[in-house]
Amino acid sequence: MSGVNTLTFRDLCRLLCCPPCPSQIASKLAFLPPQPTTYTVPLSESTSQYSFELTDRAEWQYSDRELRNIEVYMTPTSKGNRIPCMFVKCPTTHGAPPPNFTILFSHGNAVDLGQMSSFYVGLGARLGVNIFSYDYSGYGASTGSPSEKNVYADIEAAWQSLRKTYGISPDRVILYGQSIGTVPTIDLAKKYECAAVILHSPLLSGMRVAFPGTKRTWCFDPFPSINKVAKVTSRVLVIHGTEDEVVDFSHGLGIYERCQKPVAPLWVEGAGHNDIELHSQYIERLRHFVNVELAE
């Protein structure tokens, strides 16, 4: 579901040019949009509404009924790009109250909304929440290209669109970032207080992933979450696998130690970077956090 590119010797030489280019480091370390995309968002000329059409590569696991609970539309960003936003309605019985929370999910690398759609449906149903997500610039049906600046503008556009389109107040929004998605999540969370923040396999900074011995944040270090997370005033749940082969477990520990309001973290013994969701304690911990801790 998520990952960071493996750097070749030539890549390292280019990154260490004088001075290194932050955008180049960012793209080499993080961004790998799936090609071809797994979905399209055609606009109907008759209704002026967008539809969500999946390809076989999306590996959709549900029926057309669940697909009808998904709304997708395009929204502009401050950088001049257009990104798709997805709202997955939590299934409820007739007369039941609406879900208490909506998760704004920033997904990992090498996936797009089409590949994540089945996961979102299942997660929302299991937790009793709505899921709102988006694709980064250059991913899926988005325009533009992926970059650090664009990804910050992308989540800002998604946040504003969620609030404007669905009228959901910040105290009803849970920000969830996975892997590279923790970067825009932390950046947004330091600006806006919300119900809570979930950081799944977070990274301290780009250089600390590429060069594990890095002890300080250089001016050209992309994704400096280590310097931002202490400014987050919402409650934070950190999730990390102890055998993460992409973003070392020490990154999760480092992020947790710098949080103002951390809750009990979830350290999944033996889990790597892409299989935490397969462990039973993953859903158990999220359910308790959303339905018990946030209700107190």
Which of the residues in the chain have pLDDT under 50?
1, 3-7, 9, 11-20
**Could you tell me if residue 165 is inside a domain?**
yes
pLDDT digits (tens, 9 = 90+) for 180-204: 999 999 999 999 999 999 999 999 9
Domain of 165: which CATH number?
Answer: 3.40.50.1820
What is the per-residue pLDDT for 17?
47
Residue with structure tokens 């060069």?
211
Q: Are 102 and 170 in contact (CB under 8 A)?
A: no
Closest CA to 203 of 235, 165, 170, 240: 240
**Could you tell me if residue 3 is inside a domain?**
no
Catalytic-residue membership of 240: no
Q: In whole angstroms, give the CA distance from residue 27 to residue 39.
A: 23
Of the residues 187, 221, 244, 248, only one is catalytic, namely: 244
Write out the DSSP string of 8-58. Answer: PHHHHHHHTSSSPPHHHHHHHHT----SS-SEE-PBPTTT--B--EE-GGG
**Could you tell me if residue 182 is inside a domain?**
yes
Of the residues 107, 200, 251, 273, only one is catalytic, namely: 273
The angle that helices 182-189 and 148-166 make with each other, rounded to 10 degrees, is 60
In which domain, by residue range, is 266 found? 9-295
Closest CA to 26 of 210, 227, 216: 210
**Radius of gyration of the chain measured on its C-alpha atoms:** 18
What is the per-residue pLDDT for 182?
97
Q: In whole angstroms, give the CA distance from residue 83 to residue 68.
A: 21
Catalytic-residue membership of 275: no
Of the residues 147, 179, 201, 225, only one is catalytic, namely: 179
Number of domains composing the chain: 1
**Could you tell me if residue 2 is inside a domain?**
no
Written as six digits, the tokens of 4 are 């960071």
Catalytic-residue membership of 244: yes
What is the per-residue pLDDT for 246?
92
> How many CB atoms within 10 Å of residue 36?
8
